[in-house]
A and B are shown apart, each in its own frame.
Chain A
């Protein structure tokens, strides 16, 4: 009987050690219980290289995110018919844009904002209307879509954005403010309602680091 208890104690210890280690690893030390938390921690640890996807803005002008290298850049993902999280994100970008206008910094240091749609229904015309609603000037803050729809999935995957259709003909998606570094890599992910100063600081730090 005593021997059985001893073996059970050994087995229990092994189970606790192995199970605890796996749970610890699977949740980043119990700090990432959701995929979104895990995504943010993984990006902060190792910035992600983004695919060179061709975009076009609300005026139909082609560009890539790589063109912003060396300048502070933040990116978010929205769609114009969104009634839930996107207006919150766009309002956050408007606050950021206004704060930058007020600070009147040098052009090279001016925070750049790009809002990318994943909704194929969003035409440049629709993006222009949406941009005008949020008073985006189309230069420091651009709304964009992929030029080739086949590029959308790799772009979303690189950012870690999961878009699922909802019952109302719209989408639900993980929402955040994405900060790119001087090499055009995805370096930080912040909350959609992060204070503008914190976003500007993170973007400035990322754009000046290598």
Chain B
């Protein structure tokens, strides 16, 4: 027997993370929760969709080591995984996708499967393997894309989603724009701020 209290706590933590992910998907799937989060466009886009991806990431980090190494064999430097996540997430930025999810239960189910499986999980398994230049490239492409989509939602002369009011569309655009600016500032701070000695030690 190895371990002790520390190992037991780590084991509990290791089990808690995927359980939290699974629980998150289950809670988000409750009809009342879906109704509440999908009623407002900005909440649909900036709360429900990211939470579904996060749930997938939480489940993926706890995958058995053998699974992770099998996936890694096809995912050198996280390239294929990040490509998958970028392509899958770009679909859910398309206004038609939001309308389809609200109109057809099958598309809603697709959303609940694709975001954890094709966005959250690949990011969790790939991002740690992406090098510094690759990360900068991804951030430099994704954030401007969000900002452009946000701006288009604000400036569009027509309603882009049949199921949302014009005011909600503008709020969603502002939210996307704001999120991209906030994340850009965060990424810049991480890139340029000096690393504290404690963080440097823990990184070793």
Give residues in A with beta carbon < 8 Å to B. 1, 4-5, 7-8, 10-12, 15-16, 19-20, 22-23, 26-27, 32-38, 162, 164, 166-167, 172, 174
Report Cα–Cα, A16/B79, bound state, in Å: 11
B15 at the interface (CB under 8 A from A): no
- Taking the closest CB of chain A, its distance from the CB of B92, in whole angstroms, is 11
The residue of chain B having its C-beta at the shortest distance from the C-beta of A166 within the complex is: B165
The residue of chain B having its C-beta at the shortest distance from the C-beta of A30 within the complex is: B94
Give the interface size bracket for B toward A: 20 to 34
> Which residue of the partner chain, among B83, B103, B165, contacts A164 with CB atoms under 8 Å?
B165
- Taking the closest CB of chain B, its distance from the CB of A5, in whole angstroms, is 5
Contacts of B103 in A (CB 8 A): 35
Are B160 and A34 within 8 A (Cβ)? yes
Given contacts A5-B76, A11-B75, A172-B159, contact A27 B83 (CB under 8 A): no
Report Cα–Cα, A26/B111, bound state, in Å: 14
Are B160 and A11 within 8 A (Cβ)? no
> Which residue of the partner chain, among A11, A19, A22, contacts B74 with CB atoms under 8 Å?
A11
- Taking the closest CB of chain A, its distance from the CB of B145, in whole angstroms, is 14
Are A172 and B166 within 8 A (Cβ)? yes
B9 at the interface (CB under 8 A from A): no
Q: Tell me which of A16, A38, A162, A174 has the highest count of chain B C-beta atoms within 10 A of its own C-beta.
A: A162
Report Cα–Cα, A115/B44, bound state, in Å: 34
- Taking the closest CB of chain B, its distance from the CB of A39, in whole angstroms, is 9
Contacts of A15 in B (CB 8 A): 80, 83-84, 87
Q: Tell me which of B79, B80, B99, B100 has the highest count of chain A C-beta atoms within 10 A of its own C-beta.
A: B80
Contacts of A12 in B (CB 8 A): 79-80, 83
B136 at the interface (CB under 8 A from A): no
Contacts of A38 in B (CB 8 A): 96
Are A164 and B163 within 8 A (Cβ)? yes
- Taking the closest CB of chain A, its distance from the CB of B117, in whole angstroms, is 13
Given contacts A8-B75, A11-B75, contact A26 B83 (CB under 8 A): no
Contacts of B79 in A (CB 8 A): 8, 12
Are B96 and A23 within 8 A (Cβ)? no
Report Cα–Cα, A161/B73, bound state, in Å: 49
Contacts of B94 in A (CB 8 A): 26-27, 33
Contacts of B159 in A (CB 8 A): 36, 172, 174
Contacts of A20 in B (CB 8 A): 87
Contacts of B20 in A (CB 8 A): none
Given contacts A12-B80, A20-B87, contact A34 B73 (CB under 8 A): no
The residue of chain A having its C-beta at the shortest distance from the C-beta of B72 within the complex is: A4
Report Cα–Cα, A32/B161, bound state, in Å: 12
Given contacts A35-B95, A172-B159, contact A16 B87 (CB under 8 A): yes
Are B160 and A4 within 8 A (Cβ)? no
Report Cα–Cα, A20/B87, bound state, in Å: 8
The residue of chain B having its C-beta at the shortest distance from the C-beta of A173 within the complex is: B162
Are A34 and B91 within 8 A (Cβ)? no
Q: Tell me which of A20, A167, A172 has the highest count of chain B C-beta atoms within 10 A of its own C-beta.
A: A172
Contacts of A23 in B (CB 8 A): 87, 90-91
- Taking the closest CB of chain B, its distance from the CB of A154, in whole angstroms, is 15
Contacts of B83 in A (CB 8 A): 12, 15-16, 19
Given contacts A26-B91, A33-B96, A162-B163, contact A4 B76 (CB under 8 A): yes
B189 at the interface (CB under 8 A from A): no
> Which residue of the partner chain, among B73, B91, B166, contacts A4 with CB atoms under 8 Å?
B73
The residue of chain B having its C-beta at the shortest distance from the C-beta of A23 within the complex is: B91
B158 at the interface (CB under 8 A from A): yes
Q: Tell me which of A16, A27, A34 has the highest count of chain B C-beta atoms within 10 A of its own C-beta.
A: A34
List 15 additional A-B contacts (Cβ < 8 Å) besides A27-B96, A34-B161: A4-B72, A4-B76, A7-B74, A11-B75, A12-B79, A15-B80, A23-B90, A23-B91, A26-B91, A33-B96, A35-B95, A35-B162, A36-B159, A164-B165, A172-B165
